[in-house]
Structure 1
């Protein structure tokens, strides 16, 4: 499986697409003015302590105060407060190292927020959930710094190994190795990608994280409330940190500054892969060149088509996401109802997993699969969904199909859902209605022409279509229609018809009869 990262610089930031075997699996839009990313550490001020919620609201600079629950303070909150206060009030040249710090007693996990926090108190906090809808950021005082092979946890001494590393011998090796190189008062969570890595790579990653911590503590000496003390890296670098592996082929970037940043980061974490970063200089826009724009149009609509003929309807409410699976024109192509349902549900399960990652959907997701009678088929759908979700980096839980054919999924939501407008204003009604993306219509027409000319050997083919689509195929000296002739050595007659919708078309043979084509 090939992995490619495509980065497109925009006026407001950058767009990032992760392709697996040329198929879009993750899409992120990072804006330059976007603050409060997951992982950022701020010096905040307590604005309100709410005893009824056992929580406090913290001012870190967002328009709405951030939320901090008592359970998110962490057992070592007293040590964090005491240490950060000593660092902030230390004189120039005076250095406090966490390795030499004497930890304070743990707080009571069943305690009250009023016992440890008061109004106007300064507190070091980390963003664990970005602002979503009308809610401000969610915070934690259990600080952590993520690296490529491990996560550094200050004010802790434990070493935890990723559950995805199943080899007992390897878990024991990593635990022993990390315990020998980590400093006192720092805990470590070993990530899955650390499996079979040698001590040199792990030690280098640990040193980088310790340097980040030291830089943040140095900044804390002069920090004012609302200041960012330690910032998470850019989205592109964070993605590379999390997904870079042996199957990663290339990273294409169309901006020199971002290219230099990414190349420096790769050189730092994986010098042997530095050459995969490539500066794109093509004439076409980078997302057009790699076919990403069309994939975005087809993937982010309310209705998502499946290759086999079925389709998904994705609805979002305040409380949850609902996904309805429909058979579409697949119903005529299987031996029976149960076979049809199983076939569509299998394909839908794989596409749903892709959609969850692509849109970064979180919270509660309810999937209404097509009803199946056989218990083994229901178990198979559950098994496929579990396997596909195993590649998802977000925490999630998948439950088996209920008696009503519903599957419940929970997925960690730490940032707003990716939402892209894929509907276009109709040129006929000038915005009083909406239509599906016309960019997909041209693709379907071209695929059908290829099928009719190569598989069915049609001659004197005529296509009736909307004037807008007609102009798309005929404009320019080397038009798309001329390219068809150079490819197939057959001329395709195009006829304009303004009475049909922009997404409609007809194929006519030499006898004047309409050709019915089903490519699914």
Structure 2
């Protein structure tokens, strides 16, 4: 299963597509204005200590003070327990004995600010690598609970020998079960080097400073997505290519060797019609090559997938038609779960099969396809009603939740793309047209919400694009246009 990774970078948004068998399998999106804080490490300053709430407010340089609860204050116990482990045993030391107002304190964000609430913090630092999680304040060597119990002891002893006398706590991640000693050793070196930089920054920077920012999507590509079967990583920005190459050569040299600068005339995502695939992935219906189709509905509680034969009548009899449609659907379902990043409970309603061997063959094909998913996924057996229950770990927001919002016109029963998504589509369309034509001016006609966004929050990106193509860009709001409608007019 060979793999290509394509990176489309712009100042406002980074998009990463994982290509297998000539088709997109995964899409990762990170927006400059919406990047989270989880994982960031700050040198905070204790603003207030609240003994009655057993918590403290920490100023880390954000608009609102962040929140630290006593249960998230790291302290070594005689038995070697951390506060999280001690919650069910003895009570932790009161917070007023652990921190004081004005104190400089190294903290890590464990939950982003939501609404009027500030970020949630912890003083127990953890740094994630590709195969390991580093706990610099601990000496514990652990193994993910998702790895079978009969393998954990051997993996723990192997990791202990690689860690050596330098110490530090490490947890082997689930995806590192089959990692080589070289890969684990490289990860240990990377994590220790990162921690050394954080400590050095803490000695010279003032309070309220950012000491460590969790890796950007570009850097996480090298850490999390690149494997032995990755043929190449193509990126369409010279500036970001140079930065990523420097980062990779220092921390992940094997992955950096696969990095390539894309210099083609066509937009990089046009190579595999990725924008068209994304548009289809936001719809309910997925057409199969045979003529059958899937209907995918995502709700708060679960995701449902309904398989239909549609116009497929190619098999010798109806039973074979159903079997072949379900086999093709099993392959398509596994791909759609990855592409749409659907998580939680998933119920699949395959077309009813009367033969048990057909059911087992479809289930085997589905499990085979799911084994390619880097996110842990489990599929059960067919129920008495012919339904198949699955679970897939939630790692980030689904594609639809990231790119779309509830439609005000249909009272939340459907979704439309956000104004920012449309704005970025417009910016990409202008860039695409500028490469082919040489007009005097570009005029954008769109809904009032999109125009307002381009004039306000996205004005810097719009001005940067205008300078880049050396053409003026004018904006015109059209009240008759829907939230997803727009025109780019060449004058």
Length-normalised TM-score, structure 2: 0.66
Return the offset for 1:102. Answer: 11
Displacement of 1:4: 1.1
User: 1:286 and 1:160, CA in 2 relative to 1: closer, same or farther beyond 3 A?
Assistant: same
Question: CA contact under 8 A between 2:143 and 2:156: conserved in structure 1?
Answer: no
- Counterpart of 1:323 in structure 2 is 305
CA distance in 2, matches of 1:67, 1:351: 44
Change (3 A) 1:358 1:224: farther
Does residue 351 in structure 1 map to residue 332 in structure 2? Answer: yes
- In 2: Cα distance, 1:358 partner to 1:135 partner: 32
What is residue 206 of structure 1 aligned with on the other side? 188
Unaligned 5+ segments in structure 1 are 81-100, 423-432, 436-474, 477-520
- Which residue number corresponds to residue 175 of structure 1? 159
- Match for 2:218 among 233, 236, 250? 236
Shift of 1:34: 3.0
SS at match of 1:329: coil
Q: How does 1:58-457 map to 2 (within 5 A)?
A: 73=72, 77-79=74-76, 108-110=86-88, 126=108, 143-154=125-136, 155-160=138-143, 163=147, 171=155, 174-175=158-159, 177-179=161-163, 181=164, 183-189=166-172, 192=175, 195=178, 197-198=180-181, 202-220=184-202, 222=205, 224=207, 228-271=210-253, 274-330=256-312, 332-419=313-400
Q: Deviations over 1:101-151 (max 9, x none)?
A: 996776533269997557998986655676899999787766432223433
Tell me which residue corresponds to 1:444: none
| Alpha-carbon distance, 1:224 to partner | 4.3
**1:49 and 1:113 in contact (8 A); partners too:** no
Residue 469 (structure 2) aligns with: none
Contact 1:60 1:66 in 2 (8 A): yes
Q: Distance in 2 between matches of 1:48 and 1:190?
A: 35
Q: 1:343 to 1:104 in 2, by over 3 A?
A: closer
Deviation at 1:238, TM superposition (A): 0.9
Alignment of 1:439-518 (within 5 A): none
**Alignment deviations for residues 290-315 of structure 1 (CA, whole Å, 9 cap, x no partner):** 42222223333221112222212122
Match of 1:21 in 2: 21
Deviation of 1:159 after TM superposition, in Å, equals 4.3
Larger radius of gyration: 1
Distance 1:284 1:248 in 2: 23
| Structure 2 alignment gaps of length 5 or more | 405-413, 417-435, 438-491
Matched with 1:502 is: none
CA contact (8 A) 2:223 2:252 kept: no
Aligned twin of 2:452: none
* Change over 3 Å in CA distance of 1:214–1:386 after alignment to 2: same
Question: Normalised by the size of structure 1, how large is the TM-score?
Answer: 0.62
SS in 1 for 2:264: coil
Distance 1:395 1:210, change over 3 A: same
Count of equivalent residues: 400
Closer, same or farther: CA 129–41 of 1 in aligned 2, 3 Å: same
Offset of residue 249 of structure 1: 1.2
Relative to 1, partners in 2 of residues 1:381 and 1:12: Cα closer, same or farther, differing over 3 Å? same
* Kept in 1: contact 2:51–2:95 (CA 8 A): no
Are the equivalent residues in 2 in contact too, given 1:59–1:65 (CA < 8 A)?
yes
For the Cα contact (< 8 Å) 2:293–2:309, is it kept in 1? Answer: yes
